[in-house]
Amino acid sequence: MISLKQLLCFLLSLLSFMSVFYSVGKLGIFLATPSRAQPMETNAFPANRAELRAFLFPLFFNAIWVVLFVLQHSGMRAEVVKRFWKSIGLELAERSLYNIATSYCLLLLLKNWQSPPTQYRLWFFEVEENHSLWWLMIGSHVLSWIVVYGGSLMVDLPELIGLKHVYYAMNDLAPPMSYKSRDLQDYYKRYRHPSFVALSIVLWLTNGMTLDRCLLAVVWSIYMYLAWNTTQADIKYHKHQLERKRLELYAVTK
């Protein structure tokens, strides 16, 4: 029989599932929406103090939300946080709570994002009248998100979201990570996010790179590089797995 604790964790895992897909969808739309041409040409940077003040306040405000997201995304992985969830009996929902917090931090960032009155741009090219460029940009974003989603499936999406933990507990099974090899467990401790390249594309590929958008792209790109940087052990593990798959395919097709 399902306990009250398991029922609560199951509801949190469902909320985690819905929150992740909704917030990522909103992020995808935010990053893929093309910039429109401005009624008048402006310089790449503020030309006087009044323009500088009008530009810096929204940029500072946006930086707060970007840093908040980074702090949450890293801080909730700390051992002290995991011990806290365990002390109140919610260790089963740890992964779900992490994803819920990440999703709502992301939604807060998108909801409160402020653009300066004048959109200073590092580059701009018109796509509304050029259908080829429009489809190239949108198609690149869609393809990149497909790669991210496919990579999430490969790193065990149900376990990553938290659904698998609750399902295994309800069926009196050991935690899902215990069924994976020690090498794979070590790899997942360092790397659970798919495709640095695909996420970099959706951050940087835009027809109008405003300075506030550049702030987001720079901070998140640096964070991804530092947090997801692979080691020689990871490369060795991948090579070993690719060799195993090659031998298995060769044995099947022989």
| pLDDT tens column, 126-182 | 887 888 888 999 999 999 999 888 888 777 788 888 888 888 888 888 888 777 777
CA–CA dist 229, 250 (Å, integer): 32
Residue 109 pLDDT: 93
Closest by Cα among 225, 224, 228, 230 to 69: 224
**DSSP, res 143:** H
Count CB atoms within 10 A of the CB of residue 158: 16
Domain boundary assignment for the chain: 4-35+47-253
CB 76 within 8 A of CB 35: no
Closest by Cα among 19, 196, 35 to 108: 19
Q: What is the mean pLDDT of each run of 10 residues along the chain (254 residues)?
A: 80 90 92 76 63 79 91 87 87 90 93 80 83 89 90 80 84 81 73 80 90 90 81 72 74 66
Residue 254 pLDDT: 59
| pLDDT tens column, 78-89 | 889 888 988 888
Q: What is the pTM of this model?
A: 0.84
